[in-house]
Amino acid sequence: MAQDDPVVSAQWLHEHLGMPDVKVLDASWYMPVENRDPWKEYQVAHIPGALFFDLDGIVDRTTDLPHMLPSEEAFAAAISELDIKNQDKVIVYDGKGFFSAPRVWWMFRVFGHKKVWVLDGGLPQWQASGFNVEKASPDDDAVLKSIAANRAVKRVYNGEQTNTISFQTEFQPNLFWALEKVAQNVTAKTYQQIDARAKGRFDGVAPEPREGVRSGHIPGSVCVPFPEMFDGAPPSLLLPADELRRKFQHAGLPVLSRLSFVTVPRQVITVYIGAFGASSGISLDRPIVVTCGSGVTACILALGLYRIGKRDVPVYDGSWTEWEGQSDSDYPKVTAPGTA
């Protein structure tokens, strides 16, 4: 474990599992079209001692946008019910390996908790390493704590009294962006905007998974699909720092294609065509903000950037789902022709 790296290995967690200051969270979450229930899957198989963090339960209950960041009080109340203390080391994982766990890693960091890591490769890597999982029954303490965490959030937003809050938060505004901050940046271009969605969704030629949401992107953004942060062999692991740097530095560069051969005296010239001047890649010396569909996979990019030393990268919480829902005149979009 290193404070300057955002992940820990399955071997490290296996060796430290059960220590009083190591708390493990199953933060599995799936896209609606996948028809998977992370809560049920947790009860069938999870890392021993892990508690379930409900990404759709520990949320801002004043908005219709999916899984938005809750208030400080609501987050503190939920984490207190999970029996996590400020001195604890928090290890987060999910059922895909790298999908929703980085979102919870980011949430802890937004609220000032620096002792948080993602399990490299998640539950698939844990199981591939030969380590055991366990089941949970409805009356298990772990299940009751997870239920209590969701109820604590509801009580805060209902203005009801909560149990004693033992987890203290300190909001980090440099890691969180809301709608108007992004709108200002579209004009100012101070931050480089990176979108974690698939290229088809980014370009506006593939549908969004949420009904009624057009595909496309925020003007000025560069697409770096989140799977590019991982190695190729399942279960996927986070790429080494040097490979991550290349991924970002080459993002958005034109792909050259051979057009023809032109013969001139004593030499043959191969002519290429490409969108020269359209982009010069991402500069790691300039500030970056990350976005995606609804604020989940953007956190995977933030995780990769953290590994290469960019530790102050904000996430646009509402992401494309919020941006697309605003008026086109005030919040311009880049969409494919005929997708109005």
Give catalytic residue positions: 292
Give the integer Cα–Cα distance in Å for 107 and 246: 27
DSSP 59: S
Tokens 């009904």 — which residue? 211
With the C-alpha atoms ordered 126, 128, 132, 135, is the resulting torsion angle positive or negative?
Answer: positive
Local structure of 158: helix, strand or coil: coil
CA separation for the pair 26, 218 (Å, rounded): 32
CB count, 10 Å around CB of 240?
11
- Is residue 239 a contact partner of residue 306, using CB atoms and an 8 Å limit? no
Q: Tell me the DSSP string of 199-222.
A: HHHHHTSS--SSTT----B-TTEE
C-alpha dihedral over 63, 66, 68, 74, to 10 degrees? 70
**Tokens linked to 251:** 């993002």
Residue 338 is given by DSSP the state T
Q: To which H or E segment does residue 11 belong?
A: helix 10-16
